A and B are shown apart, each in its own frame.
Chain A
C-alpha cells in the first residue's frame, strides 16, 4: 500500500505543477508528456525481465501469469473508468447548477463539502460504505464516485467563476441568453480547469481503486494485499508497479486529451 500511495502522490503533484503552461511552454509540456510512456515502458520491461529471471514458487506462479494479471488490470480499469465517467456526468452538471444558483449560501455549502470531502481518508469511505451497505463492485464504484465527486464539482465551480467578469458582461451586453453565455463563453473558458479536475479524479480513482480489494471488488489491490499477507515480495511489487504504471499512463492520456480539447487562443 504505502509504496503505491507514495508514487501516486509524487506523481500527481509533479503533473499538477505543469497545468497552466500556455503558448511558449506548450512544446516543453508536450515533450514532458511524451516522456511518460517511454519511462513506463522501460520500467515494465525491466520488471518483466527481473521476474522472468526468478524461480517462482507455486503461489507466485498462480498470480504472476498473463491471465491473472489481465483479469486484475481489467477489473481495476473498469472500476476507475466507470467511476470517472459517472463523476463527469454527475459532478460537472452539479457544479454548473451551483454556479447558476448564484446564491452565496449554496456556494459556501458546496465549497465546504468539497473541502471536507478531500480531507476524508478514502479507506474510511470505502469501508464505512461496505459496513452500512454491502461488499462488492457496486459499493466500490459508489465510494469512488463519492470520493472524487467533490473535487470535480469544485473545479467546475472555480473554472466557471474565474472567467473574466468583463468577458461575461460583454457576452450579456451583446444579448446572449444565460444559457448561450454558459455554452458559448463560460464553459469553453472554464474547460481547462474542469478537465484538470477530471484528470486529477481519474488518477485519484486509479489509486483509490486499490482499496477495493478490502471489500471484495477485485483490482490490483488483490495482488498487493496477497503479496503482503503471504510474504511474496515479487507479487506485491508487480501489483504496485502496475498500479503506478496505469496511473501514469491514464494521466498521460488525459493530458493529451486536455491539450487537444483546450480552446485555442487561451
Chain B
C-alpha cells in the first residue's frame, strides 16, 4: 500500500495496536480512503473509490439495492476481501499492515447467511472467538451465559442446543451473540435480521437498539430495507451501483433533504410520515393544553400523535409525562409547522434514538 500513511506514528507494532483496541470495547473510528475492489475477471469495479469516516461508537447503516456493493465494502474492513486499492484505518492504524486473523478476532462479524457452526452447540458457537483468544474455560462459560441473556435466549434452555434446533430468529440472535463474544470495539453486521418475518424483525431491532445504547460499539450495519436504516442508524449511507455514496447523513436530514432523485426514490412514499416517526414529542413545540382532549405520552413520536389525531378526530391531543402531568397539546397545525420549518429544532433529534 503506497499510503499506509505517515499519520499513524503512535503505534509501532500490530500487537501493540491490537492490545490497544482490545482495551477499547466502546468503539473506535473507522476510516476508508479511496477504497476500490475489482473482482478478478470483472470489467467493472464492485466498489469504486469509496471514502468514509465513521466516528467511535457510531452506528452507520449501508443501504442500497441488491448488488450495489454493500457486502463487498464491508468485507474489506475485516479483510475477508482484500481491497484492490486504497487504505482502511481502524483507530488510526492501517489494517493492511496487520495479521488478518488477529484483526478478525477483534472485529465482531455477523454474516448475511448467519453461518452458525452446525456441529457445535450454541454455547460452543458463542465461545469460538474467546477460545481463540485463549480465555479460560470458566471465563468463557460466564461470558456465554451473559450474552445469551443479553440477546434474550434463556441459557438453561438454549446453551446446549444445536443451531438446527433453533428457529430462524433465535439463530440470528445467537449469531449476534457470537459476534459480541469477545467484546470487540467494531462490529460488522450484514443484514443480520434479513431472514425473519416483520414481527420478529421489529422485536430484534428494538432489542438491538437497547443493546447498542448499552455497549456503544462502532457498527456498520448493512440492510436493503430503508425503514430499518431509519430506525436503527445514527447515520445512513445511501449507496448506488459500485458502492457510490449518494448521501451520507442522519436519518432525519436525509428524509428532510434527500440529496437527489435516487435518494428520494429510495426513501419512497411517505417521507413526511417517516420523519414524524423520528421526532419524539419531547422535541416538539407544544401549545397550551386543551380540556378533555385525548392523551399521549411524552415518549411517543409525532407520528403517534398524528395517528391519534386522525383516529379520534379531535382537534388536539394532550401530551402527558410519565407522572401523567399534562405538559401541553399538539395539533395538526403544529405538526405541519415542525415539518415545514426550514431548520427544525427537532432535527437535533439524532441523539435521541
Contacts and interface: CB of A to CB of B under 8 A. Distances in A.
A169 interface: yes
A233 B348 CA distance: 98
Interface magnitude class on chain B: 20 to 34
A166 B104 contact: no
A175 B102 contact: yes
Contacts of A189: 117-119
B296 interface: no
Contacts of B105: 174-175
Interface in A163-217: 164-167, 169-177, 180, 185, 188-189
B101 A176 contact: yes
Given A166-B111, A265-B162, A173 B119 contact: no
A102 interface: no
Interface string B98-129: 00111111100101111111111100000011
B332 to A, nearest CB: 49
Contact of A266 (B100, B101, B111, B119): B119
A176 B119 contact: no
Interface in B114-149: 114-121, 128-129, 132
B29 interface: no
Contacts of B178: 174
A166 B101 contact: no
Interface of A: 164-167, 169-177, 180, 185, 188-189, 263-266
A164 B102 CA distance: 24
A170 B119 contact: no
B337 interface: no
B109 A266 contact: no
Given A170-B115, A264-B162, A176 B78 contact: no
Given A173-B80, A173-B109, A174-B104, A266 B118 contact: yes
Interface of B: 78, 80, 100-106, 109, 111-121, 128-129, 132, 162-165, 178
19 contacts: A167-B115, A167-B116, A167-B118, A169-B111, A170-B114, A173-B78, A173-B80, A173-B109, A174-B104, A174-B178, A175-B102, A175-B103, A175-B129, A185-B117, A189-B118, A263-B119, A265-B120, A265-B162, A265-B163
A166 B115 contact: yes
B119 A169 contact: no
Contact of A174 (B109, B113, B119): B109
A176 B132 contact: yes
Nearest to A166: B113
Contacts of B120: 265
A135 to B, nearest CB: 46
Contact of A169 (B80, B101, B116, B132): B80
Given A172-B80, A173-B109, A175-B105, A166 B121 contact: no
A188 B162 CA distance: 14
A166 B117 CA distance: 9
A68 B132 CA distance: 57
A6 B181 CA distance: 56
Given A170-B117, A188-B119, 9 more contacts: A164-B115, A173-B78, A175-B100, A175-B105, A176-B101, A176-B132, A185-B117, A264-B162, A265-B118
B129 A174 contact: yes
Contacts of B162: 264-265
B102 to A, nearest CB: 7
Nearest to A23: B164
Contacts of B106: 175
B108 to A, nearest CB: 9
Centre residue among A166, A174, A185, A266 by max chain B CB count within 10 A: A174
Centre residue among A167, A185, A264 by max chain B CB count within 10 A: A167
A188 B80 CA distance: 23
Contacts of A167: 115-118
Contacts of A170: 109, 111, 114-117
Contacts of B104: 172-175
B217 to A, nearest CB: 16
Contacts of A172: 80, 104
Contacts of B164: 265-266
B284 to A, nearest CB: 43
Contacts of A173: 78, 80, 104, 109, 111
A263 B76 CA distance: 33
Please list the 6 inter-chain residue pairs (A to B) with the smallest Cβ-Cβ separation, ordered nearest first.
A265-B162, A170-B115, A166-B113, A175-B104, A175-B105, A263-B119
Contacts of A180: 132
Contacts of A171: 115, 117
A56 B78 CA distance: 78
A178 to B, nearest CB: 9
A264 B101 contact: no
A264 B119 contact: yes
A185 B128 CA distance: 11
